[in-house]
Structure 1
Amino acid sequence: MSSLLLTRHEAQSSSIRRRQLLGGGALGLSAAALAACSGLSTSASGSTKSTGSKDYSGVKPAKKIEFWSNHPAANQAYEQKVVDKWNSQQSDTTVKLVTAGSDYASVAQKFQTAQVGGGLPGVVIVNTWFKYYLNGSIIPIDALVKSENIDKDDYNDTLWDDYSYDNQQWGVPYARSTPLFYYNKSHWKKAGLPDRAPKTWMEFEEWTKKLKSADLGTKKQFVYAGDYIAWTFENKVWGWGGAYSKKFDLTLDTDGAVKATDWARKGVFEGKWANVTASSSSTDHLSAEACSATVSSTGGLIGVVEAAKGKFDVGVGFLPGGPEATDNVCPTGGAGLAIPKDISPEEQVAAARFIKFLTSPENTVGLAKATGYMPLRKSANTKKLIASNPLLDTAIKQLPHTRSQDWALAFIPSGLKVLNDGLIKVLSQNTDPKETLADAKDQLQHAFKKDVKPNL
């Protein structure tokens, strides 16, 4: 989560029929979503923090390792293609791609089980990686970055730094995303709106009046994605001058966050131009023309365009700003790669070499073309990528305007679930934002004292 969050919001969910969407959508989280939010136990295996090997000189790579993935954004075919290419061009280490789960939570559970039962991979995909740090199950990779000549300066600075803590590097960015503002260009044209994303949320609020009067057949003009609303909503909190936290100092019940949440509440219950989905698939509502706009991950961009094909053209833009800030109000998200502690130095060396290959400039462009995830490397040649899908240019240009998620969301294991629950409660039950966020703060404070502080 920026430590990293997400995702599907990044895998493509099954399409939903238009008449189901027009009804407004249930507001409870699915069991899978709740599992994804709860994530990995911080007490697994009782292990302590690992410093990793400080000297890998002379260590030969293991003959074989596994790469555990959930294939984010349904990219299994692409990952297998890259693994096959690796195996064909060198003979030191054979990598086996393993489907370790259908989502990040199930990969985390399998990884946790392997801490006791054995059979650990060489490389594991992680989103909320800080949980792995807390239970001591991954290594800092600084020594491997040096020994394997991984050019850390060629990675996007924000995305690389998302895996840094306590002056050490704990992972490498991989399937990284940001939210985008998605809109139906046909609806925009019929409503007489300029063909662009709104610059601010206040401007969009004005636009909803034109969208309503255009008789487009939508139930709502905008849909929030319920499963990951805490991630995308961070944009509004920052735009209103607030934050979920300043490092581990919780600030979600202070002025900016409360005002942003109250503005969103009014959009649902007073303006009646927005609602919340039961899951992360708000783009399904957009594709079915049940709403005119939403905010969702760049990781689903290719799938959104495919789902809308033949019905309307998809428009995308930077996330809108708020009354206090209009730049650097877009959070990073997606997944990275980590190396387990309890494997041999030979396996750790093999893992680092494969990670270097998997996140090379060429391969990061390939992943972006297949899914919509961000090209990670500064030296990546994105000209052909943008030519194949011009919408990706917007996502790439937004990347320098992003920031890492607040620690309350990224580093407290229950942060996503607690924040999701609070925001959904406000937007579905019309509860008082300050009281609801104060309650969420109390829960996060308890979680920090119980799950985080003792393990730091």
Structure 2
Amino acid sequence: MTGTSFSRRRLLTAATAAAAGLALNACAGRSLGDYAQVSGQVPDKFARRQRVVLWSAFTSHNAEVLQTIIDGFNASQTDIYCEIQLFPGYTALDSKLAASFAVAQVPDLVTLSDVNWNRYFLAEALEPLSGYFDASFRPDFFHPTFLAEGTIRNEIYWLPWARSTPLFYYNKEIFAGAGLPDRGPKTFTELREWGQQLKGYKHRGSPVKMRAYNGKDDWYFQGSAWAFGGAYSDGMTSKLASEETIAALEFDRAFIHDDQMAYLASDVNGDFASGVAATICTSTGALTSLLKATDFEFGAAFLPEQVQPGVPTGGSGLAIMRNSTKERKQATWELVKYLAQTGAPEWSLNTGYLPVTTSALDSPKIKERNAKTPQYQVAQDQLSRARPPDTMRRYVNELISEMLIVLQKVYSANADPAETLREAVRNLDPAVQRVMPKYRRLVAP
């Protein structure tokens, strides 16, 4: 990758930081309930109902599934109408939401990613939710691992919805042809050894690489860092340049550039489906689409360990905007209850995202699907190893952009992992110092 590309990424990082600053400051001096609702359209037959606006980052098939669920909510009662407004991914939604504070117009319910929601918490823009629960709808209706991730100082701000972890996917046809076991590797060392065994093997007449790397999302490296005993941070103290984190990135560098059995892919799922790559690490949320896209049998396994497991949670959850009217927030809560109790099983069944509620976990249809397609059960079983992102990844928005630069340099240009990570620590220090006062006041124990 050229220096020009890195400069452009830094410009994008600066723009993201500006939007973050807008979100962090926009609520100051405003009273609760004085933000207008964003504009939209209400069908005539719903004109007399309380309107609730849901901002969604889902596209294509997942957007259709969500619309079907919301149509069910609108048909289930006569008091509330939910309008979905779609955005092409979390970044687009995040930019629009940050800007909406400047004009004091906000949606009511938002699908915020596992890292972006923390920034809006620091902005004091999210409604505390613990007080909304009652005997008919309790916090323990949600999976405890995911519920805890949205809880700060014993108060719930972010509820699970489209949650996932990465899985290790492998092409059974390639593994059998190369004499590899029909399972995932137990360690990264074993993965590299298998890569050596695969060298020279051709699948359907074409050479095969052992692994395709995703350089568009640092989520996967977060897990690898843990597996090697490293981390992004301990609290707000950076661990990016620790010996263990460097070792994790050095493994990737060597696998790609020394062994030449892995590579940086532009589309890991597409390369796996076409047989170019024997293995990938990608989201559990991609399982359904991979089953449709492949013409071969593939396995799903836990992520490789090294000195310990390294499984990060990901995806998104639901947050209610704090600066709304009491009437809108109460109506939004009725929507949340419907999504958790009625919509969650349908959502998990039709998208591949992990079940996040007891109603979804106990769904006969989901149990039947898992028995028929065991890869889904592997995803649920691995959840026992999962953990939320490190603190700096949650609260320092620039960290993700900086890590994408790091991964691109190492994966594409064979840069030295130690120096690249040390440079990232230096670049991130101003952002850490900017966030620290809010973090200490609202989050730190």
Name the TM-score class by shorter chain: 0.7 to 0.9
User: Secondary structure in 2 aligned to 1:75?
Assistant: helix
Shift in Å at residue 70 of structure 1?
2.0
The change in CA–CA distance for 1:120 and 1:187 in structure 2 (over 3 A counts) is: same
Which residue of structure 2 lines up, in the alignment, with residue 436 of structure 1?
A: 420
How does 1:329-408 map onto structure 2 within 5 Å?
329-360=310-341, 362-379=342-359, 380-381=361-362, 382-387=366-371, 389-408=373-392
Q: Is 1:141 paired with 2:113? A: no
Partner residue, 1:169: 156
2:286 corresponds to: 300
The answer as to whether partners of 1:49 and 1:137 remain within 8 angstroms in 2 is no
Three-state SS of the structure 1 residue aligned to 2:305 is: coil
What amino acid is aligned across from residue 194 of structure 2 in structure 1?
W
Contact residue 42 and residue 451 of structure 1 kept, 8 A:
no
Identify which of 251, 254, 265 aligns with 1:277.
Answer: 265
Q: Does 1:130 align with 2:118?
A: yes
CA distance in 2, matches of 1:182, 1:37: 35
Query: Equivalent residue of 1:335, what SS?
Result: strand
1:403, distance to aligned residue in structure 2 (A)? 0.8
| Partner Cα separation in structure 2 for residue 274 and residue 377 of structure 1 | 37
- AA at the equivalent of 1:340: M
| Cα deviation code 1:408-448 (max 9, x no counterpart) | 22221112111121122122222221111111112222211
Give structure 1 regions of 4+ aligned residues with deviation exceeding 6 angstroms.
27-31, 49-53
RMSD across aligned positions (CA): 2.8
Which amino acid in the other structure matches residue 16 of structure 2? S
Equivalence for 2:198: 211
Question: Which amino acid letter does the alignment assign opposite residue 192 of structure 2?
Answer: E
Deviation of residue 118 (structure 1)?
4.6
Quickly say closer, same or farther: Cα 1:120–1:51, change in 2 above 3 A.
closer
- 2: distance between equivalents of 1:369 and 1:77? 13
- In the aligned structure 2, how far is the partner of 1:282 from the partner of 1:424? 15
CA deviations on 1:368-415 (whole Å, 9 max, x unpaired) are 221110000245223123145332111111111111111122221112
In the other structure, the counterpart of 1:59 is none
Is the contact made by 1:247 and 1:406 (CA closer than 8 Å) also made in structure 2?
A: yes
Distance 1:292 1:34 in 2: 33
Q: Name the counterpart of 1:197.
A: 184
Equivalent of residue 102 in structure 2, options 111, 116, 119: 116
Which letter does structure 2 place at the counterpart of 1:84?
A: D
The question of 1:222 aligning with 2:200 is answered no
CA contact (8 A) 1:36 1:105 kept: no
Tell me how far apart the structure 1 counterparts of residues 300 and 275 of structure 2 sit (CA, whole Å).
15
**CA separation of 1:214 and 1:201: change in aligned 2, threshold 3 A:** same
Relative to structure 1, is the Cα distance of residues 194 and 234 closer, same or farther in structure 2, using a 3 angstrom cutoff? same
**2:22 is matched with which residue?**
43
Contact 2:143 2:357 in 1 (8 A): yes
| Residues 115 and 137, structure 1, Cα contact 8 Å, conserved in 2 | no
Q: CA deviation at 1:304?
A: 1.1
The 2-side partners of 1:37 and 1:190 are apart by: 48
Q: What does residue 171 of structure 2 align with? A: 184
Alignment partners' CA distance in 1, 2:343 and 2:371: 17
Aligned equivalent of 2:241? 253
Alignment match, 2:277: 291
Distance 1:172 1:163 in 2: 6
> Post-superposition shift, 1:52?
7.4
Instruction: Name the counterpart of 2:36.
Output: none
* Code of the aligned partner of 1:47: C
- Partner AA of 1:366 in structure 2: E
Find the counterpart in structure 1 of residue 41 from structure 2: none
Contact kept? 1:65, 1:350, Cα under 8 Å: yes
Amino acid at match of 2:312: P
Once the two structures are superposed, residues 243-296 of structure 1 have per-residue CA deviations (whole angstroms, 9 ceiling, x without a partner) of 110111111101110111111111111111111124xx3111101111111101
Equivalent residues of 2:151, 2:157 under 8 A apart: yes
Q: Which structure is higher in strand share?
A: 2
**1:410/1:274 CA distance change after superposition, 3 Å:** same
Which segments of 5 or more consecutive residues in structure 2 lack a partner in the other structure?
Answer: 34-48
Q: Which amino acid aligns with 1:365?
A: P
How big is each residue's C-alpha offset from its partner over 1:157-180, in whole Å with a ceiling of 9 and x where there is no partner?
221111122432211011111000
- Cα distance in structure 2, aligned partners of 1:131 and 1:451: 9
CA distance in 2, matches of 1:73, 1:297: 17
Pick closer, same or farther for the CA change 1:282–1:203 going to 2, 3 Å: same
Q: Deviation at 1:51? A: 11
Match of 1:156 in 2: 143
Deviates more, 1:68-77 or 1:390-399: 68-77
Q: How many angstroms does 1:222 deviate by?
A: 0.5
| Helix, strand or coil at the partner of 1:74 | helix
Task: Give, as a single letter, the amino acid of the residue that structure 2 aligns with 1:243.
Answer: A
Name the structure, 1 or 2, with higher relative contact order (CA <8 Å, separation 6+): 1
Separation in structure 2 between the aligned mates of residue 174 and residue 291 of structure 1, nearest angstrom: 31
3-state SS, counterpart of residue 21 of structure 2: coil
Q: For residues 170-220 of structure 1, what are the alpha-carbon distances to aligned partners after superposition, in whole Å with 9 as ceiling and x for unaligned?
A: 110111110001111111111111111111111111111222232222352
SS in 1 for 2:199: helix
**Which of 52, 72, 95 in structure 2 is aligned with 1:65?**
52
Asked whether the equivalents of residues 202 and 208 of structure 2 are also in contact (C-alpha less than 8 Å), the reply is no
Three-state SS of the structure 2 residue aligned to 1:64 is strand
1:348 partner amino acid: K
1:234 to 211, 216, 222: 222
Asked whether the 8 Å contact 1:140–1:170 carries over to 2, the reply is yes
